Structure 1
Amino acid sequence: MAQRPDWAPEGVDLETPSAARVYDFYLGGAHNFEVDRELGRKAIAAVPHLKEIAVNNRAFLRRAVRYCLDQGVRQFLDIGAGIPTAGNVHEIAQAVDPETRVVYVDNEPVAVAHSRAILDGNDKATIVQADALEVESVLDAPETQGLLDFSQPIAVMMVALLHFVPESAKPREVIRQYHERLAPGSHIVVSHVTGDHDPASAQALVDLYQNSSNPGTLRSRDEVAELVSDFELVEPGVVHVPEWHPDSPEDVWEEPERSIVYGAVGRKA
């Protein structure tokens, strides 16, 4: 039996790897367990540039947050936010406008506990412990209702989330429920692992995650676009994350498809 670290909440599962904690490991964080690091090492052995992929996905999140801010959005709902690391949504957004409000959502106890510690004293940001698929639990949580004004635009972040939602959970319908509650001018930001261009690497990750608490699902470009089809896609549409609004030509990989991750931003008309 693994020993629970002092920073881990009571009752957390120390024996089953968690996608949020494995992602924290990829990014060099310290809030993960040996079971997470073991899965992470196996994944990196299968896909050697996996840490680079994770870092690039975070860069996409930062660019997407800045894009939404440029569109006048001052409210963010980050669903499946994971464990806080450098360049969180509230850090990016509140650096531009300190009045920007951010609600994080996750169902992983370590992510929630660490987020609460990070956000202590910040009255414009909070965390909700809830499952992304339980839309009412997310949107009607007292923390959400107390901080976000649903009559005004909100950016819903689903970065590196939807590939952990199987078709049996009807992700298209879940996203539609979020869309229905949002005001015009709201945005959705998604990133999603794909097997379109490197099926062997992508499938290796899916296979490794099968025994984690978050089994994975690959989707094609068209399937990712379908998930967010209630929204109007922002140019350039669904593209590999290095290609989405890069800050400089150097940000675009020589082979963007090596990222094995699509990114997209949509807007509610």
Structure 2
Amino acid sequence: MAPAPAAAEAVLQVAPEMREVAREGRAAIRRSVEHIVKSGVRQIIDIGSGLPTGENVHDIAHAIDPSVRVVYVDLDDVVVIHGRALLSSPRTAMIRGDVCDPSPLLNDPELRALIDLGRPVGVLMMYLLHLIPDTAGPQAAVAQLRDALAPGSMLSITHAANDRRPEYVARISAIYARANQPFTPRGKDEIAAFFGDWELEEPGLVNVWPYRTPPPAMNPELLDLGYSSVAVKR
């Protein structure tokens, strides 16, 4: 579930550096997918995927193992319609689903045609949960989803933070509010709670871009805007 175009454009007008955040965000997705597939998981559900782009989750996964099955999930009907038109691989599908209503999502016939919930599944929630307010119950919904997955499943989350650069985040939050777009950055403990009792993979819950030395083209001040991790169900 990508930000509404109006909100995204408003953010870029006052914070053009967010283009760099988006670019590095794609690199974070690549690292997560590669880690999940190299760990042996051959099924991925990408929740809040948005439209397929130039480098899709299934492209990254299939470069490692073409047998990986990928289901994209988004709440926006237009995104789902266009996403279905763009996908051609028999090992991919796009469905409409709401992370805050996990039961119908996981029981969708198209998802079940590709995903065996009795086997490990990699679930991506990349830059999704900070677009969901607490009133929608995201913690309980993610817990329900975790409970439905088999041992060996993996969960990857990236989430905007409000405890690293609060003044900057407040500025961005105000822009989203004016665009009537939900934006709920959270603190590290709140973000960690989305993983429940799953075991965090090394290096744990860290900056979205866990570089010891940021890439030369990246503004190092952007490193404190969010947290990321991958966890496994034992």
TM-score, normalized by the shorter chain, greater than 0.5: yes
Match of 1:102 in 2: 70
What is the CA distance between 1:250 and its match in structure 2?
5.0
Consecutive unaligned residues of structure 2, counting only runs of 5 or more, are: none
| Maintained 8 Å contact 1:53/1:259 | no
Residue 166 of structure 2 corresponds to residue 199 of structure 1: yes
Match of 1:216 in 2: 183
- Structure 1 residue aligned with 2:13, among 45, 53, 71? 45
Match of 2:131 in 1: 164
Cα distance in 2 for residues equivalent to 1:111 and 1:184: 31
Distance 1:161 1:220, change over 3 A: same
Residue 123 of structure 2 corresponds to residue 141 of structure 1: no
Residue 2 of structure 2 corresponds to residue 20 of structure 1: yes
- Structure 2 residue aligned with 1:86, among 39, 48, 54? 54
Consecutive unaligned residues of structure 1, counting only runs of 5 or more, are: 1-18, 23-35
Residue-by-residue CA offset, 1:33-86 (whole Å, 9 max, x unaligned): xxx2x5333212332310111111111010000001111011000000012112
Match of 1:151 in 2: 118
Cα distance in 2 for residues equivalent to 1:158 and 1:21: 14
Match of 2:227 in 1: 262
After superposition, the CA RMSD in angstroms is 2.0
| Maintained 8 Å contact 1:232/1:266 | yes
SS at match of 2:55: coil
| Maintained 8 Å contact 1:206/1:216 | yes
Match of 1:29 in 2: none
Cα distance in 2 for residues equivalent to 1:114 and 1:103: 15
User: Percent sequence identity over matched residues?
Assistant: 35
SS at match of 2:209: helix
Residue 149 of structure 2 corresponds to residue 190 of structure 1: no
Cα distance in 2 for residues equivalent to 1:211 and 1:129: 27
Cα distance in 2 for residues equivalent to 1:249 and 1:150: 39
AA aligned opposite 2:32: A
Cα distance in 2 for residues equivalent to 1:53 and 1:167: 24
| Maintained 8 Å contact 1:20/1:82 | yes
Distance 1:127 1:212, change over 3 A: farther
What is the CA distance between 1:128 and its match in structure 2?
0.8
Cα distance in 2 for residues equivalent to 1:63 and 1:234: 13
| Maintained 8 Å contact 2:58/2:69 | yes
Cα distance in 2 for residues equivalent to 1:259 and 1:116: 35
| Maintained 8 Å contact 1:20/1:108 | no
Count of equivalent residues: 233
